[in-house]
A and B are shown apart, each in its own frame.
Chain A
Amino acid sequence: MSTNFVKNALGRMVPTSVNGKEQVPYMGVGKYKPTGRKYAPYIASCADYPADGNKIVPSLKEALIKSGLKDGMVISTHHHFRNGDLIANQIFDIAHELGVKDLVWVPSASFECHAPLIKYLEDGTIHHIEGSMNGSLGRFTSQGKMKGMGILRSHGGRYQSIQDGEVVIDIAVIAAPTADSFGNSTGDRGPAACGLLGFALADSQYAHKVIVTTDNLVPFPCIPWQIHGNYVDYVVLFDQVGIPEKIVSGTTEITKSPDRLLLAEMTSQFCDEAGIIKDGFSFQAGAGGTALSIGIYFADLLRERGMKARFARGGSNKYLVNMLEEGLVDYILDGQTFDLDGVRSMRENANHLNTSPFTSYNYHGKGNFSTMVDAVILGATEVDLNFNANVVTHSDGVLLHGIGGWQNCLFSKCTILPIPLFRDRIPVIRDEVTTICGPGELIDVIVTERGIAINPLRTDLIEKLKNSSLPIKTIQQLKDEAEAICGKPEKIEFTDEAVAVIKWVDGTVIDTVWKIK
């Protein structure tokens, strides 16, 4: 089957059709506005559900069969357990056992713990993945071994695509740390507490069939309920639904690297000099050692000056929780908990709120939280001279990461990427990035240990920092400096076979991931 490609508004070649579905090429920020109504799931009738509210079935296999599992279906899971997820692999073990083929897996993110699914991608149980393809799954995809084309979406884009009907989920399986037999569920308590279940919200609202799996069944009502039992078809009991200790997956510990601490220090000084850190401001620092350290520097500044932030957007972790408990921030609006302190705080502290991609990130909504954040600290694997950035592929062209909330966060008032100027010998600032995940017009500042580049569009920031003691340079200067040290990188050669596409927050295709040679 041949695929047609067109050039999108960023000049990238993108397919006009993916897995048989028509695509809209990226048109620019805020340019594509679909009309029509949202997708709606089927009408259900209480007549079909037990009056005593008990929806328990004996096994996941039975629940899947009752849900009508068959070839070609779309199956979704959430990633609140991060690398400690125990459910997704079991679903496809069952599908394989039943001889079901060509499933589409729509996780809100994948982790290395999902590497065993490669065998099902190989034998045709799974046709392709829509969500993220991390680590081994990414490498598998990049080698062109996946049957269908992968689709990468941001957290907000996932909600948008389900809401808009681009992705129609047949069966959603929601791992719930605590639930009642009606299906009301929460993530903030139970032996496998993982915090919240926001990534499963769209799945519960829009999937045709919803299965809740839990290892902590409580009598009705399960309070609080983050997932409404009224959306749920079946409840299945497990010995263990996830390993909460594995929520902490490496990138959620503060850095000890002096180089990264320096980056964090420079970033916080930049924010301070740019006038961002003031009473009542708001920020979001993602996972990753550098970002976490920046939070610590913010806290120091606030404490020193007797000020506090109005809200911080999570990923929450112990550092953010400390700020909340110390009174340095009024609220945490949390999308996912990155450690067990975050889980505890969400359970115990009324000012630590669980949010969802609907409230925080959905671009096809009546606004969302991301635009109201004063400063957001993000990472990137590559940035080009126009500030376009990549977060999914590595310098060798291999797909290794998902987008997460990264694209959605770019809409904050000031988007800052603290990144080392080069990693080993790999320069971060390039003539052209391997994969564009975010348009440069939304990326305001690149902080490297050897200099800070402000996007020329942000004349206000350039003006504010003009007498700074920080090393303010142009992005071209930074690129030249890196190349003087590392050499000028050669262009990677790919095949002309598309293996995945990157969706923008509005569902358009911003770039293509190509099969490696």
Chain B
Amino acid sequence: MNNIVTIGNKGKGVRSDCAVTLEMCETGGLQIQIESKVKAIFGNQIEALVKDMLNFYAIQNAVIIIEDSGALPFVMAARIEAAIKKLTGTEKDYLLPMLAQNNYKTSKDKNRFSRLYLPGNTPSLMINAGIHKPDGIILDLEDAVAPDKKYEASFLVRNALRNLDFYNAERMVRINQIPRGLDDLEFLIPHNVNLLLVPKCEGAHQINMLNERIEYLKGKFNVTCDIWLMPIIESALGVIKAFEIASAAPNVVALAIGLEDYTADLGVMRTKVATESFFARTQIVNACKATGIQAIDSVFSDVADLDGLRDNVRISKSLGFDGMGCIHPRQIKVIHESFAPEAAEIEKAKKIVNAFIEASEKGLGVVSLGTKMIDAPVVKRAQKTIDLSIKLGKLNQNWREEYVN
């Protein structure tokens, strides 16, 4: 077995992270070496953390070198723990306290306009993610983490779930592909993850495997809350099986589509007009609507082109999608604005809902607006628009008082 390992990141451009090099020795006691840009004000605390962790794992002879670029404690602890576990194989977890404000749950039909992808091994991008107010954040253990960094990323993601405040954004993790992704679950299930994204999903059997393991871990760690699933459809087979996947289990709350892999699978170029994925997108929307769950569109990858993004969201919304992924915080606002009901939409919905309420009050079975009859589904859609507008702060909860008067 190797007796020396380096975990984490260092060097030019690395911020809020550290590299930990650990060498296990037979003798010589503990040699702790700390190089840190914050040594003047945090040197003692860094040393205390290192000592506490070495003591926790009963390591008596080792050389440990911390090269710190301003890592927050949860980051440094994750790096040290990964190094220790890699060399010793111990199963003990060094857990930082769960922040009280991180214990929130989310509901199945919660708004999911935006969800911000955060590479699972890059702390600097995680730390301020919540302040941009996405509906959800995704700690990504899959494609955004290089294969040789996947091991250390799971510790970082676990510690972030416990110790980093995402300010009420839904806490999502994209696990690795099933079956590998099953091994990620121990790092997530006991730490109040709200939702798991399941990449490259191609059938109900994967959802079932996943749920089996989730149930096992929920029992083991005494977790009672729901853990939602959002399978990502990224292949032709996945598109064909969309309905099967959407209806595989009651904790599937949405399907997302991943167009990079999907277009690769078709062997076509991904274009901005996206005609090549029209079938897939409408197929997924229909599978979702048929099962009463949300349909989530693929990310828009040109982060500098906010106008292009706005057009893209409008099309997405018109196809029936309920949300979209983002890869940059600046995309969040545009996505929220474009998915939210427009002023004219809200006005029309108010008219319809009002007419409906007045008709019911008068005991009329038929709702009409002017000379037009209003069907029940139209009322239902209008009510949805009203509810959403209230939720988004675009409409006062007591709008009817003003409206009627």
A interface list, Cβ under 8 A from B? 258-259, 261-262, 395-397, 423-426, 449-450, 485-487, 489-492
Tell me the smallest distance from the CB of A135 to a CB of chain B, in Å: 16
Q: Is the CB of A426 within 8 A of B38?
A: yes
Q: Is the CB of B330 within 8 A of A258?
A: yes
Q: Is the CB of A258 within 8 A of B73?
A: no
What is the CA–CA distance of A491 and B165 in the complex, to the nearest angstrom? Answer: 27
Closest to B74 in A: A485
Select A485's contact among B43, B72, B328, beta carbons within 8 Å: B72
Q: Is the CB of A423 within 8 A of B70?
A: yes
Q: Offer 28 A-B interface pairs, CB within 8 angstroms, sorted by A.
A: A258-B128, A258-B132, A258-B328, A258-B329, A395-B40, A396-B37, A396-B38, A396-B41, A423-B70, A424-B71, A425-B38, A425-B42, A425-B72, A426-B41, A449-B128, A449-B131, A485-B72, A486-B42, A487-B42, A487-B45, A487-B73, A489-B41, A490-B40, A490-B41, A490-B43, A490-B44, A492-B40, A492-B41
B interface list, Cβ under 8 A from A? 15-16, 37-45, 69-73, 124, 127-128, 131-132, 165, 328-330
Q: Is the CB of B70 within 8 A of A426?
A: yes
Instruction: Pick from A424, A426, A450 the residue with the most CB of B within 10 Å.
Output: A424
Select A262's contact among B38, B71, B124, B131, beta carbons within 8 Å: B131
Which 8 residue pairs are nearest across A and B when measured between Cβ atoms? A424-B70, A258-B329, A489-B41, A396-B40, A425-B70, A259-B128, A425-B38, A449-B131
Report chain A residues within 8 Å CB of B42.
425, 486-487, 489-490
Tell me the smallest distance from the CB of A406 to a CB of chain B, in Å: 23
Tell me the smallest distance from the CB of B125 to a CB of chain A, in Å: 10
Report chain A residues within 8 Å CB of B44.
490
Q: Is the CB of A395 within 8 A of B41?
A: yes
Tell me the smallest distance from the CB of A432 to a CB of chain B, in Å: 12
Report chain B residues within 8 Å CB of A485.
72, 127, 165
What is the CA–CA distance of A425 and B41 in the complex, to the nearest angstrom? Answer: 10
Tell me the smallest distance from the CB of B341 to a CB of chain A, in Å: 20
Tell me the smallest distance from the CB of B53 to a CB of chain A, in Å: 15
Report chain B residues within 8 Å CB of A449.
128, 131
Tell me the smallest distance from the CB of B398 to a CB of chain A, in Å: 18
Q: Given the interface contacts A258-B330, A262-B131, does A424 sit within 8 Å of B37 by beta carbon?
A: yes
Q: Given the interface contacts A424-B70, A487-B45, does A259 sit within 8 Å of B131 by beta carbon?
A: yes
Instruction: Pick from B38, B43, B165 the residue with the most CB of A within 10 Å.
Output: B38
Instruction: Pick from B16, B39, B128, B132 the residue with the most CB of A within 10 Å.
Output: B128
Q: Is the CB of B328 within 8 A of A397?
A: no
What is the CA–CA distance of A449 and B329 in the complex, to the nearest angstrom? Answer: 13
Report chain B residues within 8 Å CB of A259.
128, 131, 329
Q: Is the CB of B330 within 8 A of A425?
A: no
- Additional pairs, 8, CB under 8 Å, beyond known A424-B15, A490-B44: A258-B330, A397-B40, A426-B41, A487-B42, A487-B73, A490-B41, A490-B43, A492-B41
Report chain A residues within 8 Å CB of B132.
258, 262
Closest to A398 in B: B40
Tell me the smallest distance from the CB of B368 to a CB of chain A, in Å: 39
What is the CA–CA distance of A168 and B73 in the complex, to the nearest angstrom? Answer: 52
Tell me the smallest distance from the CB of A45 to a CB of chain B, in Å: 57
Report chain A residues within 8 Å CB of B70.
423-426
Select A261's contact among B72, B124, B127, B330, beta carbons within 8 Å: B330
Report chain B residues within 8 Å CB of A262.
131-132, 329
Closest to A259 in B: B128
Closest to B133 in A: A262
Closest to B331 in A: A258
What is the CA–CA distance of A485 and B75 in the complex, to the nearest angstrom? Answer: 11
Tell me the smallest distance from the CB of A327 to a CB of chain B, in Å: 24
Report chain B residues within 8 Å CB of A258.
128, 132, 328-330
Tell me the smallest distance from the CB of B307 to a CB of chain A, in Å: 15
Tell me the smallest distance from the CB of A277 to a CB of chain B, in Å: 20
What is the CA–CA distance of A77 and B231 in the complex, to the nearest angstrom? Answer: 65
